[in-house]
């Protein structure tokens, strides 16, 4: 038997969605486990939605996850080119074969005429099916229609019979002939539609097994018929269950648009229309389409959310990378979305997944994307990871956050930060706890609630009073962890104060909030000069 060959064929419309990452991962695991070949090609024939910069984004996302391929984009191989936009002549030849064999025909209805047909079907309470013309238009008819400015497409002539697809996850799936119609295989712009290009590429590139999302299962009958018409061998199939949010809605990029829209409407209520539109004066049309018309424009949603300070859910692989997750944790987590390892194991390395993966353990039940579980996975993995692994991950995180003032080139310092914040959930926690320590002394803001609770209350034993007494002692102290610990400990004992009554005022004074590493680590990172300067700044608020 020929070795198995799987593929991942994304459309470059943005960063890699976690659903696409799962598809890539499962195809990679199956090929690796069976000693086969894994291929990655780019399906970029959707001219309207294509984003050229997304090609490199997808490649980068896959490699960040640790998913490598044997053949395809950037790797090369004997079956290229591996971008569909560079294979148009190949598709044109195969479409012409169907036309010559009477298995496809020209059609040239306008969008308005097709809409009228759909409305007629709706009025009759019928599903719309394209009505095959009789006789079929000839090539001469098509040329005349094109000369008249009509859109000329090519439709596949569907045989009048049911089509059954055997799927390794969903079993026998039959599409009745009554629900099929003559679908378009070449658009008016000369580009193929998804179906023929996909089928031709899989056949010519030697793909023997296709794993993809469940949403494609209802389209697979088209691929079966096209393969038969061209005489291609039929591959094996396994369609993967949907990935849902915990509330049962489908996990998708539109989640970002919905949340940004909701936040924008709250912002509008509080601040008014003029204030909202002043946020994005150069993009009012897209802003209004998102907020007022309900258009799920993710790019606009991301820009708007950043400007009004709204956190959007992670949906793309890149989102999780920016949020500070370890790639091996994300890979482990998405592997469990629809696949159950033997023994119900949950914590797996990529190497272990390769050994254990099989399609017979892929279920039909939709998977739930439990973010709390993923966060727990990452917390545990970060606590167990070697120091060098964490350093590499933290440096990658910082490379995506140029606004961070933590010096990414100082590896000794980064090791100290990682040790001081041990127990963090994601690398973003380190930034949240420690970022302020590396900024200008006058740049951070004070949390009013922290000032009121920690510094002002208590009269003669208030936090401000503690700072006044402690400040000259800190100035004369040797700036070592041991000396600082002894100073603060002795101060607490001499005044019968708990550690919190001393450490928290210092923390608020030097960071503006109640969140930072241990007070000794905080002061060590700041150094004496910056600590004293920040305490002096804070004490000015005592009389403000």
Whether 253 is catalytic? yes
Q: Is 57 left (phi over 0), alpha (psi -120 to 50) or beta?
A: alpha
Give me the number of domains the chain comprises: 3
pLDDT in tens, 353-385: 999 999 999 999 999 999 999 999 999 999 999
DSSP code, position 231: T
In a domain, 359, yes or no: no
- Band of pLDDT at residue 44, cut at 50, 70 and 90: very high
Same domain for 275 and 310? Answer: yes
Residue 28 lies in a domain: no
In a domain, 329, yes or no: no
User: Would you say 318 and 61 are in contact if contact means Cβ atoms under 8 Å apart?
Assistant: yes
Return d(Cα 47, Cα 191) in angstroms, integer.
9
Query: Which of the residues 103, 253, 256, 433 is marked catalytic?
Result: 253
pTM: 0.92
Domain-ending residue, one of 240, 269, 304 = 240
* Whether residue 135 is found in the same domain as residue 225: yes
**Residue that terminates a domain, selected from 191, 207, 240:** 240
Q: Can you list the pairs that 443-450 forms with residues at least 24 positions away whose Cβ atoms lie under 8 Å?
A: 444/511, 444/512, 445/512, 446/508, 446/512, 446/513, 446/538, 446/541, 447/508, 447/512, 447/513, 447/514, 450/508, 450/512, 450/513, 450/514
Domain that holds residue 234: 87-240
CATH number at residue 207: 3.40.50.620
What pLDDT, in 10s, does the model give residues 92-127?
999 999 999 999 999 999 999 999 999 998 998 888
Asked if residue 234 and residue 262 are part of one domain, the reply reads no
Give which of 166, 162, 142 is closest to 153, Cα–Cα: 142
Query: Which pLDDT score is estimated for 398?
Result: 98
- Average confidence score pLDDT of the chain: 94
Q: What angle is formed at CA 95 by the lines to CA 92 and CA 97, rounded to 5 degrees?
A: 110
Q: pLDDT (tens digit, 9 = 90+) per residue, 154-205?
A: 999 999 999 999 999 999 999 999 999 999 999 999 999 999 999 999 999 9
Confidence check: pLDDT of 458 > 80: no
CB contact at 8 A, 509 and 534: yes
Are 199 and 266 members of one domain?
no
For the domain that residue 526 is a member of, what is the CATH number? 1.10.10.350
Find, among 504, 463, 469, 507, the residue nearest to 490 by Cα: 469
Integer Rg of the chain from CA: 30
**How far is the C-alpha of 72 from the C-alpha of 460, rounded, in Å?**
72
Looking at the fold, whether 230 and 295 belong to one and the same domain comes out as: no
Is it the case that residue 245 has pLDDT exceeding 90?
yes
Residues 235 and 266 in one domain: no
Question: Percent of the chain having pLDDT more than 90?
Answer: 89
Residue 488 contacts residue 503 (beta carbons within 8 Å):
yes
Q: How far apart are CA 321 and CA 318, in angstroms?
A: 5
Residue 519 near residue 488, CB atoms below 8 Å: yes
Q: Are residues 280 and 177 in the same domain?
A: no
């Amino acid at each position: 038997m020929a070795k198995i060959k799987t593929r991942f064929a994304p459309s470059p419309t943005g960063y890699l969605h976690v659903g696409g990452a799962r598809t890539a991962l499962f195809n990679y695991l199956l090929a690796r486990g069976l000693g086969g070949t894994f291929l990655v090609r780019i399906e970029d024939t959707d001219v309207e939605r294509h984003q050229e910069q997304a090609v490199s984004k997808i490649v980068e996302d896959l490699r960040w996850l640790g998913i490598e391929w044997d053949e395809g984009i950037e790797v090369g191989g004997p079956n290229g080119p591996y971008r569909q936009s560079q294979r148009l002549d190949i598709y044109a030849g195969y479409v012409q074969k169907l036309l010559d064999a009477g298995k496809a025909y020209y059609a040239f209805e306008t969008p308005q005429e097709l809409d009228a047909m759909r409305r007629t079907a709706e009025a009759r309470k019928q599903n719309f099916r394209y009505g095959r013309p009789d006789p079929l238009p000839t090539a001469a008819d098509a040329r005349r229609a094109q000369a008249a400015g009509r859109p000329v497409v090519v439709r596949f002539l569907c045989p009048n019979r049911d089509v059954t697809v055997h799927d390794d996850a969903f079993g026998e799936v039959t599409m009745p002939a009554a629900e099929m119609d003559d679908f378009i295989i070449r658009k008016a712009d000369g580009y193929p539609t998804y179906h023929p290009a996909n089928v031709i590429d899989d056949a010519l590139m030697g793909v023997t097994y296709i794993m993809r999302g469940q949403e494609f299962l209802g389209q697979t009958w088209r691929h079966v018929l096209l393969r038969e018409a061209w005489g291609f061998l039929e591959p094996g199939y396994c369609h993967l269950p949907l990935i849902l949010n915990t509330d049962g809605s489908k996990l998708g990029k539109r989640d970002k648009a919905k949340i940004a829209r909701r936040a924008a409407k709250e912002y509008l209520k509080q601040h008014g229309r003029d204030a909202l539109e002043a946020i994005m004066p150069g993009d009012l049309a897209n802003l209004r389409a998102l907020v007022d018309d309900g258009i799920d424009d993710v790019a606009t949603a991301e820009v708007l959310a950043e400007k009004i300070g709204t956190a959007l859910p992670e949906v793309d692989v890149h989102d999780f990378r920016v949020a500070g997750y370890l790639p091996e944790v994300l890979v482990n987590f998405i592997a469990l979305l629809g696949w159950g390892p033997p023994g119900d194991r949950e914590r797996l390395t990529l190497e272990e997944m390769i050994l254990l993966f099989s399609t017979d353990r892929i279920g039909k039940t939709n998977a739930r994307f439990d973010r709390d579980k993923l966060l727990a996975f990452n917390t545990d993995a970060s606590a167990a990871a070697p120091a060098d692994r964490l350093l590499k991950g933290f440096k990658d995180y910082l490379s995506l956050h140029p606004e961070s003032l933590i010096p990414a080139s100082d590896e000794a310092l980064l090791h100290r930060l990682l040790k001081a914040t041990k127990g963090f959930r994601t690398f973003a926690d380190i930034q949240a706890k420690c970022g302020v320590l590396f900024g200008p002394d006058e740049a951070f803001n004070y949390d009013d609630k922290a000032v009121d609770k920690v510094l002002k209350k208590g009269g003669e034993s208030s936090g401000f009073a503690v700072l006044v007494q402690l400040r000259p002692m800190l100035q004369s102290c040797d700036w070592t962890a041991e000396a600082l610990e002894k100073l603060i400990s002795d101060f607490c004992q001499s005044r019968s104060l708990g550690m919190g009554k001393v450490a928290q005022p210092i923390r608020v004074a030097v960071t503006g909030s109640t969140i930072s590493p241990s007070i000794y680590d905080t002061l060590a990172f700041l150094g004496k000069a910056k600590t004293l300067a920040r305490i002096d700044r804070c004490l000015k608020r005592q009389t403000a």
